[in-house]
């Protein structure tokens, strides 16, 4: 049908893109890779720049619900999203994520509302229920019936109840202040146990989907003999405040009801008549003692208030109802979390002061002072920590960098909350960030000596080693790589000597003659990869050999 196609199609509304915030809407249960929004268009990002930059989507928490399609710039789903699983306690389900543009050191907040589809039918906790009603009960008496639960929202949630099966009973539905419906069984005609000891009824709950989904519970009414006193609770409402670290198994409160009848008609049993699914998983009611105990650990950040409805019923079916309000108080049980959203691997030593090298996000799930985080940067280093926006911090250069003094930094960021007493080691999270500083060519080559001297005999064969020179450069990489060559020297020197550009070795290339020239003085040049040069002077003395006979 056309409505089903519209329901499962991607329903998108890009609401606004102001102050770095985007808002979209999609239905739950759409397949992985479904279109959410055109982020590139809404933020004015160019696709070529988007592909060249390191851009990613980060969701709050461990599960990543969305991803960025690199070719189109579209925000898409990273998997199927179940609205009831994520947001069963809230009416409006909104997932938040952030678009991080690493190259520009920018981030944009994105909110995606997950709308409901009718994928759940109303259901009752039990498929069969037994009601015990005295035959002296006057017509018009009302008995609370179990409420159905439908995790869907809006029109897809629970809408109506219907009772069928017997003329002795009818159905009344009470509507609470919040719009929730409470079904009640109404005695329409007087009972006669001798005429009928049992009555079989069916209660049907329907939602407003198209087509509607339904759930049923079978009700067996047992007619009992007279019981003229109902149990009465000692309080109309019980209120208790407990810290979130109360141990599992603790008794939080005990409800008490008394019945003035004698014998079995005075025996009271307790039952939980109204509680959310989460509350049913957390609290346990002892049907005999009225003790409400804790089944699992409380978490203030997960839920800070629970309301239960307990019924006390005697053996004759008469009852009383009370409410229990349980407020959970916060303790400092969450350590601040630091996550690196973007960081540079290396920077040049000549970057200006104030250059951003890392973008951090800090959060603490606690509230109030327990969730207020203080951040600091360890050590005497040329970097400072600045608050960027909300819970974001940036690490920036505080002064000029000098690679020749320090070529690598380990940055340690610490976060501590404001709990009282404050958390110690468990409240401090250390994050190490490695920043490699690249070199600028600011150092020329330097020879070990300004003047090199050597003596060689005449008539040495070509290729003989005269001496080796050495120059060093404090720069790194190609800026620190040195090559050797002659300076401005006469052609006669070039004809008799050669210099190895890599090793700095000076060798003869032709015969030396003491009688022709007894000393050579010339310049050598060392040049680094950045074009800077250094110079030294060569002084080579030629020693005489007895290579000439006397002439008469």
Question: Domain coordinates of the chain in residue numbers?
Answer: 22-115, 123-224, 232-329, 337-438, 446-543
**Exposure class string for 220-232: b at 16+ Cβ within 10 A, else e:** ebebbeebeebbb
Q: Which CATH class is domain 22-115?
A: mainly beta
Q: Which CATH class is domain 337-438?
A: mainly beta
Residues 299 and 279: their CA atoms lie apart, in Å, by: 12
pLDDT the model gives residue 423: 57
How do strand 21-27 and strand 17-18 relate by DSSP bridges?
antiparallel
User: Which tokens go with 423?
Assistant: 């958390």
pLDDT the model gives residue 271: 92
- For the entire predicted model, the pTM comes to 0.39
pLDDT the model gives residue 19: 42
DSSP string, 405-467: T-SEEEEEEEEEE--SSPP-GGG-EEEEEEEEEEP------EES-SEEEEEEETTPPTT-EEE
The per-type count for the chain, helices as H runs and strands as E runs, is 6, 41
pLDDT the model gives residue 268: 93
Centroid of chain to Cα 105? 18
User: Which tokens go with 249?
Assistant: 């198994």
Residues 380 and 451: their CA atoms lie apart, in Å, by: 42
For the domain bounded by 446-543, which CATH number is listed? 2.60.40.60
pLDDT tens, residue order, the chain (552 aa): 333 333 333 333 333 333 458 899 989 888 998 999 988 888 887 776 666 667 788 887 778 889 888 788 888 898 888 887 888 767 788 888 888 887 777 888 889 888 888 778 888 888 899 998 888 889 999 999 998 888 877 788 788 899 988 899 999 998 888 778 889 999 999 888 778 889 999 999 988 888 888 889 999 998 876 777 789 999 999 999 999 889 999 999 999 999 887 778 788 999 988 777 678 888 999 999 999 999 998 888 788 889 999 999 988 788 999 999 999 888 777 788 888 888 877 887 778 888 888 888 888 877 777 778 888 888 888 888 888 777 888 889 888 887 778 878 888 888 888 777 665 323 333 333 334 456 678 889 999 999 999 999 888 888 899 999 999 988 877 888 999 999 888 888 888 999 999 999 999 998 888 888 889 999 999 999 888 999 999 999 999 887 788 888
Same fold, 337-438 and 446-543: yes
pLDDT the model gives residue 438: 62
Residues 212 and 202: their CA atoms lie apart, in Å, by: 18
pLDDT the model gives residue 249: 92
For the domain bounded by 123-224, which CATH number is listed? 2.60.40.60
Long-range contacts of 178-183 (CB under 8 A, 24+ apart): 180/147, 181/147, 182/144, 182/147, 183/144, 183/145, 183/146, 183/147
Residues 95 and 85: their CA atoms lie apart, in Å, by: 13
Superfamily of domain 232-329: Cadherins (2.60.40.60)
pLDDT the model gives residue 11: 35
In degrees to the nearest 10, what's the CA dihedral of 66, 68, 74, 79? Answer: -30
pLDDT the model gives residue 321: 93
């Amino acid at each position: 049908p056309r409505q089903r196609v519209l329901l499962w199609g991607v329903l998108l509304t890009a609401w606004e893109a102001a102050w770095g915030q985007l808002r979209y809407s999609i239905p739950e249960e759409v397949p992985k890779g479904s279109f959410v929004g055109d982020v590139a268009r809404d933020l004015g990002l160019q696709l070529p720049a988007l592909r060249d930059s390191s851009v990613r989507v980060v969701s709050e928490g461990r599960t990543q619900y969305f991803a960025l399609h690199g070719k189109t710039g579209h925000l898409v789903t990273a998997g199927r999203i179940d609205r009831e699983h994520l947001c069963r306690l809230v009416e409006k389900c909104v997932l938040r994520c952030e678009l991080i543009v690493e190259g520009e050191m920018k981030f944009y907040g994105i909110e995606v509302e997950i709308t409901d589809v009718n994928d759940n039918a109303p259901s009752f906790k039990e498929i069969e229920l037994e009601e015990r009603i005295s035959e002296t009960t006057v017509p018009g008496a009302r008995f609370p019936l179990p409420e159905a639960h439908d995790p869907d929202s809006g029109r897809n949630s629970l809408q109506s109840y219907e009772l069928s099966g017997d003329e002795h009973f009818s159905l009344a539905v009470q509507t609470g202040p919040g719009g929730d419906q409470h079904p009640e069984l109404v005695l329409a005609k007087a009972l006669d146990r001798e005429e009928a000891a049992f009555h079989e009824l069916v209660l049907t709950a329907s939602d407003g989907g198209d087509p509607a989904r339904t759930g049923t519970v079978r009700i067996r009414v047992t007619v009992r003999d007279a019981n003229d006193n109902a149990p009465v609770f000692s309080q109309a409402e019980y209120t208790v405040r407990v810290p979130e670290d109360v141990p599992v198994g603790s008794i939080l409160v005990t409800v008490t009801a008394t019945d003035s009848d004698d014998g079995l008609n005075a025996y009271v049993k307790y039952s939980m008549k109204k509680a959310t699914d989460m509350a049913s998983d957390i609290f346990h009611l002892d049907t005999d003692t009225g003790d409400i105990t804790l089944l699992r650990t409380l978490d203030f950040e997960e839920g800070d208030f629970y309301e239960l409805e307990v019924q006390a019923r005697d053996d004759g079916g008469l009852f009383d109802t009370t409410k229990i309000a349980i407020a959970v108080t916060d303790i400092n049980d969450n350590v601040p979390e630091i996550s690196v959203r973007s960081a540079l691997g290396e920077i040049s030593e000549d970057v200006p002061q104030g250059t951003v090298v890392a973008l951090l996000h800090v959060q603490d799930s606690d509230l109030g002072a327990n969730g207020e985080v203080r951040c600091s940067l360890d050590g005497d280093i040329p970097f400072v920590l600045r608050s960027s926006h909300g819970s974001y911090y940036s690490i920036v250069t505080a002064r000029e960098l000098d690679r020749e003094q320090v070529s690598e930094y380990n940055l340690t960021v610490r976060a501590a909350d404001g709990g009282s007493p404050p958390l110690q080691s468990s409240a401090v999270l250390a994050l190490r960030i490695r920043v490699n500083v690249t070199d600028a060519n600011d150092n020329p080559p330097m020879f070990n000596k300004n003047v090199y001297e050597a003596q060689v005999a005449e008539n040495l064969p070509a290729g003989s080693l005269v001496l080796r020179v050495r120059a060093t450069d404090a720069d790194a990489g190609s800026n620190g790589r040195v090559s050797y060559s002659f300076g401005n020297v006469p052609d006669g020197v070039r004809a008799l000597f050669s210099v190895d550009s890599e090793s700095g070795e000076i060798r003869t290339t032709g015969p030396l003659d003491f009688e022709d020239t007894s000393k050579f003085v010339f310049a050598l040049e060392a040049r680094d990869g950045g074009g800077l040069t250094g110079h030294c002077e060569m002084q080579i003395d030629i020693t005489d050999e007895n290579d000439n006979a006397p002439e008469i």
